[in-house]
Amino acid sequence: MKILVTGGGGFLGQALCRGLVARGHEVTSFNRGHYPALDAIGVRQVAGDLADRDAVMTAFAGGFDAVFHNAAKAGAWGSYDSYHQANVVGTQNVLDACRAHGIGRLVYTSTPSVTHRATHPVEGGTAETVPYGENFQAPYATTKTIAEKAVLAANDASLATVALRPRLIWGPGDNQILPRLVQRANAGRLRIVGSGDNKVDTTFIDNAAQAHFDAFDHLAPGAACAGKAYFISNGEPWPMRDVLNGLLRAAGAPEVHKHLPFRVAYAVGVACEGLWTLLPLKGEPPMTRFLAEQLSTSHWYSMAPATRDFGYVPKVTMAEGLERLRAALAG
C-alpha cells in the first residue's frame, strides 16, 4: 500500500516509517525538515507545514491508501496559537485532505493528556470510562483534545478513523525526554515530585509503533475500532520513582532520591509560568502547574479494549526495554 506518515522524522514517526517499510509498504513522510535516516530506508519525504492547507492538500495528492497522522506540537510550554495551528488547524487540514483525495483510513496519534484532570488519578481506566479532561492549564492537552474529537467525529463509511493514546514513549532514539532527564540528573537538579509512589504507565517505542500497526490492520469502515480512542502502554504500571531511576540507570546517569512536595512544585510552576510570560524567557520552564500534576498523580490504563478490538499485546516488557535502551546507549 501507499501510506503517508505525518511527522515521520520524529521519535515515533521514524519507528512507524521503519515498521511500515519492513511490512512492504511504500511510505512517504510529510515533515517540516529533512531527515537522512528516512532517506536511508527509502522513505520519500515531502517538506511542508501542517498548518499550510495548500501544502497539505498537495502532499496528500499522491494516491495514498492510508495516513498515519503522527505529527504534533508537543511540550509543556508555548503560546496557545502555536499549539492550535499545529494540532487543531493541522489536523483539520489532514482530515480535509483525506476527504478530498479519497483516502479511506486514518490512524491518529493522540495522547492520554486529553483526559488530564488536575490531581485526579486514573487507575486501570479505559477510553470508555475515563472522560475528557477540563481546565488543562496547558495548550498541548487542550489542542490535542480538540483534534482527537475532530478525528473521531470524522469517522464514517468513506473514512475510517482511530485515535491511539500512547503514554510516555521511551526507548532507543529518544531525543526529548531522556536527554532532559539525564542533563538534570547530572546537574543535580532533578527531583521526584511528591512521594514517587504514584504508579504510571509508559510505552516502549516498539510497543507504541506495534499498536499503530495493529490498529491499522484492523481499521475499516464499521470495524470495532473505527471511530474510537484507545489508551496504549506497556501495561506495566510502575511507581514514578522506579520509572525515573530505571531510565537514569540505563543511561548511566545518577539516580534521583530527593523529593519536592507537590504543593511546592505547583507553586514553583506558577512562578515559572509567570516569569516566562512576563519577561519572557527562552525555552521551556523547568516546572509548570500541568507538569507538577502529571508527575505526582497515578495514571495507568487497561489495555483490554485495544486487545479486544485490534489484538494489541505489548511484546517488549519494561525490563527488556530498559536493557535494550542501556545497550543502545552503551554502543
- Backbone angle region of 102, left / alpha / beta, with phi > 0 → left and psi within -120 to 50 → alpha: left
Q: Given this model, what pLDDT does residue 76 score? A: 87
User: Residue 258: is its pLDDT beyond 90?
Assistant: yes
Q: Taking Cα atoms as reference points, which of 54, 88, 52, 87 lies closest to residue 71?
A: 87
Q: Taking Cα atoms as reference points, which of 168, 228, 159 lies closest to residue 198?
A: 168
CA distances from residue 88 to 19, 49, 141, 178, 264 in whole angstroms, order as listed:
27, 13, 11, 27, 33
User: H or E element: which one contains 169?
Assistant: strand 169-170
For 168-199, how does the pLDDT look when each residue is reduced to its tens digit (9 = 90+)?
Answer: 999 999 988 999 999 999 999 999 999 999 99
Q: Are strands 66-69 and 238-239 parallel, antiparallel or unpaired?
A: unpaired
For 269-319, how does the pLDDT look when each residue is reduced to its tens digit (9 = 90+)?
Answer: 999 999 999 998 888 899 999 999 999 999 999 999 999 999 999 999 999
Asked if 301 and 231 count as a contact pair (C-beta separation under 8 A), the reply is yes
User: Residue 106: is its pLDDT beyond 90?
Assistant: yes
Q: Given this model, what pLDDT does residue 5 score? A: 98
What is the helix, strand, coil percentage profile of the chain, to 5? 45, 15, 40
Assign domain 2-169+203-233+300-315 to its CATH architecture.
Answer: 3-Layer(aba) Sandwich (3.40)
User: Residue 115: is its pLDDT beyond 90?
Assistant: yes
301 given a catalytic annotation = no
Of the pLDDT bands very low, low, confident and very high (cuts 50, 70, 90), residue 107 is: very high
> Given CA atoms 114, 181, 18, 3 in this order, what sign does their dihedral have?
positive
How many whole angstroms separate alpha carbon 279 and alpha carbon 26? Answer: 48
Of the pLDDT bands very low, low, confident and very high (cuts 50, 70, 90), residue 321 is: very high
For 121-151, how does the pLDDT look when each residue is reduced to its tens digit (9 = 90+)?
Answer: 999 999 999 999 988 889 999 999 999 999 9
How many whole angstroms separate alpha carbon 241 and alpha carbon 247? Answer: 10
Average pLDDT, the chain: 96
For 48-67, how does the pLDDT look when each residue is reduced to its tens digit (9 = 90+)?
Answer: 999 999 999 999 998 999 99
Q: Given this model, what pLDDT does residue 49 score? A: 97
Task: Please tell me which residue in 35, 80, 83, 140 is annotated as part of the active site.
Answer: 140
User: What mean pLDDT comes out for the span 252-279?
Assistant: 95
Q: Given this model, what pLDDT does residue 331 score? A: 82
pTM given for the model: 0.97
User: What mean pLDDT comes out for the span 19-23?
Assistant: 98
| CA 305 distance to own-chain centroid | 19
How many whole angstroms separate alpha carbon 202 and alpha carbon 232? Answer: 9
Of the pLDDT bands very low, low, confident and very high (cuts 50, 70, 90), residue 101 is: very high
How many whole angstroms separate alpha carbon 153 and alpha carbon 73? Answer: 21
